[in-house]
C-alpha cells in the first residue's frame, strides 16, 4: 500500500535515525550501510511520517515499521498490537475523511494482528497468496464473489461502516468493519465464503 509514494532516505539521514532508533529496538541492530529506510506521510496522521526500516543483508531480512514525529527523534515502533495504533491515533491525532477512510482500513489491518493471526484484506483473488496457482476457473469465481473495500454507511457521529472480504488463516469471509472517528476499529456480521484454502504459511508472517 502507498508503495508509489514512498521516499528512500539518503544514507546520511538513515545513519542519524538509526543511531537513535537502534536503542529502542530489541534484538538485532540495524547496520546503516546495509539498511534502507522508506518514508511516507500518511494522509490520516498529520505531523508524523511512517518508516519502513529494512536490512536485506540478513537472513531472514530484519524489518521494522516505525512512526516518527516529523522534525523530532520521537518514535513509536509497530508491534502488531492494536493498542499501538490507538496510541498514534490519539497523539497525531488521527484525521479521518471520506477520501482517506479506505486507505486507513487497509493500513490498520496491514499492521495489526489478532489472537489468531492477521486479518488479510482480499479485494481480488490476487490478494490470496496461494500455495499453488489456482485454476483460471477458481480465480474467476472468486473475483466474481470479491469486491474492493466499500463505504456502506457514514453516521452523523463520524462512524463508518465498511464492507470488505478478509482471509484469516485458511478461511475467506465477508465482514463489516466499523471505524469510529478516533480510529477505533471493530468487526461484525462474518459470512464464510470459502474454507480450507491452500495458502502459504508466509502469508501470516509480517
- Which position has the grid cell 530489541? 26
DSSP 191: E
Take residue 172 and report the three cell numbers written for it: 475467506
φ, ψ for residue 204, nearest 5 deg: -100, 5
What pLDDT score was predicted for residue 206?
42
Give this prediction's pTM.
0.89
The three cell numbers of residue 27 are 534484538
| Strand blocks (E) in 91-184 | 113-114, 117-118, 120-121, 150-154, 160-168, 171-179
Q: Give every residue of the chain whose pLDDT is below 70, as ranges.
A: 1-4, 189, 200-206
Distance CA 19, CA 80 (A): 23
Do 55 and 61 contact (CB within 8 A), yes or no? yes
The pLDDT of residue 193 is 85
Ranges of each domain in the chain: 3-78, 101-204
- What's the confidence (pLDDT) of residue 205? 41
Quote the CA–CA distance of 138 and 203 in Å, as a whole number: 19
> Residue 198: what pLDDT?
72
Long-range CB contacts (< 8 A, 24+ apart) of 15-23?
A: 17/51, 17/68, 17/73, 18/53, 20/73, 20/75, 21/53, 21/64, 21/66, 21/75
What is the per-residue pLDDT for 130? 77
Amino acid at each position: 500500500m502507498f508503495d508509489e509514494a514512498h521516499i528512500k532516505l539518503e544514507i546520511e539521514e538513515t545513519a542519524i535515525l538509526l543511531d537513535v532508533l537502534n536503542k529502542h529496538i530489541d534484538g538485532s541492530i540495524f547496520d546503516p550501510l546495509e539498511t534502507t529506510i522508506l518514508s511516507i506521510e500518511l494522509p490520516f496522521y498529520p505531523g508524523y511520517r511512517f518508516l519502513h526500516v529494512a536490512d536485506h543483508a540478513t537472513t531472514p531480512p530484519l524489518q521494522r515499521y516505525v512512526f516518527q514525529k516529523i522534525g523530532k527523534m520521537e518514535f513509536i515502533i509497530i508491534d502488531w498490537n492494536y493498542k499501538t495504533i490507538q496510541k498514534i491515533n490519539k497523539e497525531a491525532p488521527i484525521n479521518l475523511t471520506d477520501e482517506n477512510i479506505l486507505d486507513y482500513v487497509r493500513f490498520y489491518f496491514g499492521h495489526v494482528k489478532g489472537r489468531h493471526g492477521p486479518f488479510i484484506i482480499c479485494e481480488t483473488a490476487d490478494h490470496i497468496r496461494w500455495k499453488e496457482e489456482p485454476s483460471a476457473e477458481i480465480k474467476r469465481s472468486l473475483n466474481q464473489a470479491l469486491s474492493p473495500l466499500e463505504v456502506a454507511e457514514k453516521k452523523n457521529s463520524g462512524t463508518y461502516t465498511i464492507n470488505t472480504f478478509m482471509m484469516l488463516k485458511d478461511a475467506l469471509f465477508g465482514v463489516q468493519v466499523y471505524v469510529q472517528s478516533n480510529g477505533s476499529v471493530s468487526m461484525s456480521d462474518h459470512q464464510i465464503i470459502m474454507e480450507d484454502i491452500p495458502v502459504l504459511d508466509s502469508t501470516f508472517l509480517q
